[in-house]
Amino acid sequence: MTPTDSPAPDGKPHQTSIDDEATERTHLLASSLIASAQDPDVAEGLTSTASSQPKPDSKPLPRSQIILLCYARLVEPIAFFSIFPYINAMLIYNSDLADTDVGFYSGLIESLFSLTQMSVMMLWGLAADRVGRKPVLVFSLIGVSIATALFGFARTIWQMILFRCIAGVFAGTIVTIRTMISEHSTKETQARAFSWFAFAGNLGILIGPLIGGALAEPATQYPRAFGNVAFFRHFPYTLPSFVVGIIGLSSVVTSALFVKETLKPKSKDGSDEPNGEPDSIPKPPTLSTWELVKSPGVGVVLYVYAHIMLLAFSYTAIVPVFWFTPIHLGGFGFTPFYISICMGLTGFSQASWLLLIFPPLQHRIGTNGVMRLCAYAYPIVMATCPLLNLLLRQGTPAAECAFWILAPIFLLVGPGVSMSFTAIQLALNDVSPSQKTLGRLNALALTGMSALRSFTPALFTTIFAVGARTQVLGGYLVWLVMVLISLGFTVVVRWLPAASERDYPGIQEDDAVADNGDGNGAVVDEEGRERPS
């Protein structure tokens, strides 16, 4: 007699709910697979049958909501990167700094911005859990937009730091948008959703520097249009700040009017169910933050995430100073306009890699495979920068011609390592013990990311400044450090768990089912590594 045929205590036939039926069928399927795994003729048929079953959580991705959230996502990278083309020139304009000291103060401004973000990140997460995702998103966008618009009015270094830190206070957009995208997506659609999320971020990296470089010092760059405007002569960096602020306010309007709340309302009795009825399936116990970190694979992925972010933040902080620094000190000697062009080209290249190359490559070699490929490329990318400066130092027409041929190629190919940013996000999602811990896991990763960004720019721009001032290793000291960190990444990426390769929970093709010794089935891959069943 099957479980569904057993009579109830009152003698009436037992009525099985949909949730119970799903649970019982899953149990029977797992048991039969365990018994059949020893029979090669049967195992192959069962595996193909299981893989052909409908996948759970197959609801379609709400494209309109993802697009709206990606538009809101644009604001943070645009606001963050728009000042990079002109921050060095702005520091000199607002003070009497030497060229060799500019890098330290530009890194200090960005470090304090990130330190402020780190301090408030968890508070914004708690607020989003209490009052809702949408109110936190809209309020944060308003704050970032206003603070960024005011940055151009700064006339001293301390005013620049103040306005930048105010923008850092409104860091709720980062964690809120990630959480909302996670809540809109399923195991099947999260890769596509976060690919668009990453694409929007890189599009912001493209647009931000273009705005900053094209609109900074308008009285000098466009004398016929703005040369006679006294305001822009006294405040040469307000125009790009205003434009970024307007973009931010436009996202406030679209988010307030069209973005839907994703936080599930609680019933009067405190349960998550709208009708107050508890789910028939027992829910797993809530994990503490420490228990979450100790969950299988989570700690390793968080560490690899931090290593990738260390490379990203240090390189992002060094490059604008490196491009601005005179050639004889180890840089390229670029103007703010050239810096904006190079940063825009970098953003375009990153977006192209993520949109066109990453999806098929990830499908072919897996998430871990993409990160290993990027790990091999990182040392080459870091070593290429001083080699390009070495060409310029030759001072010959042939060397200069070679530089202008190789530099654009480098700016198009080198950003391919940015695929590791999206890959590690997918790995983080995959090692999450459950969907309910995904938001907190992302908040942990973002808090660590802000902590890194709080000291990384100041540290690495200081190393660059010391190398440029003393000409240790010909001014290439910082690039030696970057190559060593990149080589370290090629080692730690090998620690990634197999769980970060799964697409969705369940039996995959070429998987076998084995008994783990306690009577329960465990799914293992062809290499014998256990995967969640």
- pLDDT of 43 over the 50 cut: no
- Distances in whole angstroms, Cα of residue 502 to Cα of each of 23, 83, 351, 461, 531: 22, 40, 25, 39, 8
Give the mean pLDDT of 36-51. Answer: 39
pLDDT digits (tens, 9 = 90+) for 73-102: 999 989 988 998 899 899 999 988 887 778
Which of these CATH numbers, 2.60.40.1930, 1.20.1250.20, 3.30.420.40, 3.90.1150.10, describes 62-263? 1.20.1250.20
Contact 34, 515 (CB under 8 A): yes
Most confident option among 71-85, 200-214, 441-455, 476-490: 476-490
Residues of the chain with CATH 1.20.1250.20: 62-263, 288-501
Q: Could you identify the residue written with the tokens 């004398």?
A: 223
Higher pLDDT, 71 or 520: 71
- pLDDT of 506 over the 50 cut: no
Among 413, 354, 383, residue whose Cα is nearest residue 486: 383
In the chain, % helix, strand, coil (3-state, to 5) comes to 75, 0, 25
Burial class (CB in 10 A: 0-12, 13-18, 19+), 239: buried
pTM for this model (two decimals): 0.66
Among 217, 189, 160, 254, residue whose Cα is nearest residue 58: 189
- pLDDT of 131 over the 50 cut: yes
Instruction: Determine what percent of the chain is predicted with pLDDT higher than 70.
Output: 77
What pLDDT does residue 285 have? 63
Pair of tokens at residue 51? 């893989």
- Distances in whole angstroms, Cα of residue 172 to Cα of each of 110, 179, 288, 314: 18, 11, 22, 23
- Distances in whole angstroms, Cα of residue 396 to Cα of each of 83, 277, 333, 338: 33, 78, 16, 21
Contact 350, 496 (CB under 8 A): no
DSSP string, 48-85: HHHHTSPPSS-PPP-HHHHHHHHHHHHHHHHHHHTTTT
- pLDDT of 462 over the 70 cut: yes
- pLDDT of 184 over the 80 cut: yes
- pLDDT of 436 over the 90 cut: no
Contact 113, 165 (CB under 8 A): yes
As a whole number of angstroms, the distance between CA 113 and CA 91 comes to 16
Contact 175, 148 (CB under 8 A): no
Residue type (1 letter), 75: V
pLDDT digits (tens, 9 = 90+) for 310-320: 999 899 889 98
Its sign, for the CA torsion 278, 283, 285, 286, is negative
What pLDDT does residue 482 have? 97
CATH architecture, domain 288-501: Up-down Bundle (1.20)
Pair of tokens at residue 108? 């200090």
Give SS3 for 504.
Answer: coil
Among 501, 531, 505, 507, residue whose Cα is nearest residue 30: 507
Q: What is the DSSP letter of 287?
A: P
Mean pLDDT of the chain: 79
Max Cα distance, the chain (Å): 97
HSE at residue 46, side-chain half, CA atoms within 13 A, is 21
- pLDDT of 435 over the 70 cut: no
What pLDDT does residue 118 have? 82
Residue type (1 letter), 497: P
Judged by average pLDDT, the poorest of 15-19, 392-396, 410-414, 508-512 is 508-512
Q: State the distance between the two ends of the chain, measured CA to CA, in whole angstroms.
A: 27
Pair of tokens at residue 223? 């004398």
Dihedral Cα 265, 269, 275, 277, nearest 10 deg: 120
DSSP string, 326-351: -GGGTS----HHHHHHHHHHHHHHHH
Higher pLDDT, 156 or 10: 156
Give the mean pLDDT of 306-310. Answer: 94
Residue 20: which residues within 8 A CB-CB, separation 6 or more? 280
pLDDT digits (tens, 9 = 90+) for 344-396: 788 788 888 887 888 888 888 888 999 999 999 999 999 999 999 999 999 99
What pLDDT does residue 4 have? 39
As a whole number of angstroms, the distance between CA 255 and CA 136 comes to 11
Q: Could you identify the residue written with the tokens 């099947």?
A: 188
pLDDT digits (tens, 9 = 90+) for 241-298: 999 999 999 999 999 999 999 887 765 555 555 444 444 455 556 777 788 888 888 9
What pLDDT does residue 377 have? 96
What pLDDT does residue 507 have? 31
- pLDDT of 417 over the 90 cut: yes
What is the band of 439 on the pLDDT scale with cuts at 50, 70, 90?
low
Contact 85, 336 (CB under 8 A): yes
Instruction: Determine what percent of the chain is predicted with pLDDT higher than 90.
Output: 41
As a whole number of angstroms, the distance between CA 386 and CA 87 comes to 23
What pLDDT does residue 281 have? 52
Give the mean pLDDT of 417-438. Answer: 82
As a whole number of angstroms, the distance between CA 358 and CA 218 comes to 38
Residue 373: which residues within 8 A CB-CB, separation 6 or more? 361, 365, 419
